[in-house]
Structures are given as structure tokens and as C-alpha cells.
Amino acid sequence: MTAARPLLRHIWVVFLLLAAVAPWIVSPYELSLLGRFLALSILALGLVLVWGEAGILTLGQGVFFGLGGYVLAMHLKLAALTPGEIPDFMTWSGRSELPWWWQPFTSPSVALAAVIVVPGVCAALFAWAVFRRRVVGVYFALITQALALCFATLLVSQQESTGGFNGLTDFSTLLGFDFAAKGTVWTLYWITVAFVTLAFLGLRWLMRSRFGTMLRATRDGENRVRFLGHNPTPYKVVAFTISAMLAGIGGALFTLHAGVVSPALVGVVPSIEMVIWVAVGGRGSLWGAIAGTLLVNFAKDEISSALPDAWLYVLGLVFILVVTLMPRGVAGVIEDAFRRLRPGSPGGKVAAVTSPAGGAL
């Protein structure tokens, strides 16, 4: 966008190369973490579109993350069975037959398509119903939070068909590839990197298109846009739906890396954490969202293993500090530093894109 940042403009190539060769550099444990966190960063990229660009704060992204994770996990569960068998937890809960809505997921192609379609359709219907009624700002945030609570509660309560609190786990193969094999792990990692890259490039293109301009316009003045003859609702619905689909992809990849999906990953607290990753990284910046996700999650891994009870306090403190001291996140601080290094370069659009959206938080 700005002509004055040649260094930053191409730095993503370096990061991409580093990410691609990571399996040879880091330990298997670190690689497994990196794979998971990169999967999460796909969700974070979606939040940049919906929160950073459109100014819609959503506290329910865990729902779509969970939908993507669960539909794939259902297939993985079924793939590990011989025909006629049903998943072990169903037998324990006294079920003798597969629920009808499990059955389509026997097919891997249905399951893979559902990773994007199910979150997408749910998000589109929800967003259309809500945005059409002109629910905005904090009211919208609260509704999405309630949605996350409902979703997690529903999963726990329907133990005989969802695996309840334990979720779905014990996967062995995907499309015949063994999860224990090193080749599968590495390939999965590269697939994750590829999805992060695709999401990054796709969103960058979208944000630079007129669609992106319309989203920022809606964020700045939804009424002004409406009274210029544009209907802001479809723009918001589409942005929300795209972010939900990305959350679904992130959820599915995370499930593959972690080998488990459970209500603890999709409820209110995880959904808030997702927003914090993006706030820390900078919600106006795509690479900032990836950096924030990796930063917060690696910190979480370190701190949780050293001081298991301290994490939530640390996270809360970090969030307060970021919101008060660096509202544009890590990305904002770094971009400002680069601008200071290049005196005379105009503030341009960087400041604009990342300026806090009124009323979003």
C-alpha cells in the first residue's frame, strides 16, 4: 500500500522460506507446536478481516474453529473403525447405532468439504440474521460470546454423540496416511504452511480490492455508507463468513496436529484468547496476526509448563498492556519504528488501516 516500505514488503518471503525449512531445524516437539500454532494463525488471519478491517468484534470464533475441527474428527474416528463398528465412546454411553448425522462423514471428501462448508453456512446464516437487524458493536460481541457458550455446552451435554467433555481423539489415519509416521507429520506441517500462505495472500488481495475499501468504510461510518446508497449488510456477512471458513480450516488442521478436538478448545475462554492473539499482533496487519498468534501461544506453552496457574493472569495483563500502550499491536510498533528510520516517508495508509475502529472494543 505504501510505496516507502520496500524492506517490509518482501520480508514475508524470508519468513515463508524459514517456515518451509523448519522441520530440519527445530526439534519434533517444537515442530508439532509450530504446526498447531500456524493452524491457529489461519483463524487469526480471518479475525484481521472481520475485526481489523470491518471493525466487527467477534467473541465466538471458537464455534467455527470447533465446527471445522469436529467434522474432520468425526471422519477420523470413523476411518479408524471396521465397517459396522461405532466409535468406542458411543458404546460406553449405551448407544448401539451411529447417529444419522455422523453417517455422511464416512466419506473423506464429504468431511474435507464440510470443514469449509459447515462453518461457512452456519456463519452466513447467523451473520445475515444479526447484521440485517443492525446489531452492532458490543451487542454483537455479546451475542457471539453467548453462541460460543451454547456450542461448548451443547458438545458437553450430548456425550453419546459428541464425545462430551473429552471430545474426539485417538485418530490413526487420514486418507490412509499414518499419523505416527514422520513423513505424515512433515507433510501435514507443510500443508499448514501452504494454507497460511494462501490465506495471507488471499486476504491481502481482498483487503486491497474495493471490497476491502467498503469494509473499512463501513467500519468508519456504517450510516454514511448506507446513505451513499450501499447496503452494508452483505459486506459484513461476507467478511464474517470468510473469517468463519478460515477458522474452520484452522480448526481442522489444529485437530490433525493435536490429535484431539474438545469443548475446552472452542468455548468462551478460547474464543477470547483468539481475539487477544490478534490484538497483540495488531489487528490491522495480516503478518501481525500470525506473529501475535505464534508469540502468545509459545509464551503460553512456556509459562503453562513453568507456572501452570499463572497463564490466565499473564494473558489478562498482556491484553490490558497491549490495549492501553500499543493499540495497534506488535505490528504497529514495528511499522512505526520503520517509519521513523525513514524520515520523510508519509504516514500513508498504514496508520489508517490500523487506527482503532470506533466502538469495536
Partner 1 sequence: MSAVPTAANTQLLLAVDGVTVDFDGFKALNGFSMTLDRGALRVLIGPNGAGKSTLCDTIIGRVRATSGHVYFKGEDITHLPEYQIVQRGICRKFQMPGVLSSLTVLDNLLIAARSDRRWWRSMTAAASPAERARADEVLEQVGLIERRDMLAGELAHGEKQWLEIGMVVATDADLLLLDEPTAGMGPAETSRTAELIHSLLGRHAVLVIDHDMSFVEQLGGRVTVLHQGQFLKEGSVAQIRQDPDVAAVYLGRSEH
List residues near partner 1 by CB under 8 A: 206, 209-211, 213-214, 216-217, 219-221, 223-231, 234-235, 238, 347, 349, 351-353, 355
| Cβ atoms of residues 86 and 95 within 8 Å | yes
Of 99 and 356, CB closest to partner 1: 356
Q: How far apart are CA 277 and CA 65, in angstroms?
A: 15
Which cell is 16 given?
Answer: 515463508
Question: Distance (Å, rounded) from C-alpha 243 to C-alpha 290?
Answer: 14
Q: In terms of CB distance, is 326 or 351 closer to partner 1?
A: 351
Smallest separation, CB 195 to partner 1 (Å): 21
Please say which residue, 157 or 231, places its beta carbon nearer to partner 1.
231
CB of 200 to partner 1, least distance (A): 17
Q: Residue 4 in 3-state DSSP? A: coil
Least distance from partner 1 to the Cβ atom of residue 323, Å = 19
Judged by CB, which is closer to partner 1: 182, or 349?
349
Exposure string of 320-353, with b = 16+ CB inside 10 Å and e = fewer, is: eebeeebbbbbbbebbeebbeeeeeeeeeebbeb
Least distance from partner 1 to the Cβ atom of residue 38, Å: 26
Question: Could you tell me the smallest distance in angstroms from the CB atom of residue 98 to partner 1?
Answer: 39
CA distances to 245, 274, 313, 331 from 298, in Å: 25, 14, 16, 18
Of 238 and 260, the one with the shorter C-beta distance to partner 1 is 238
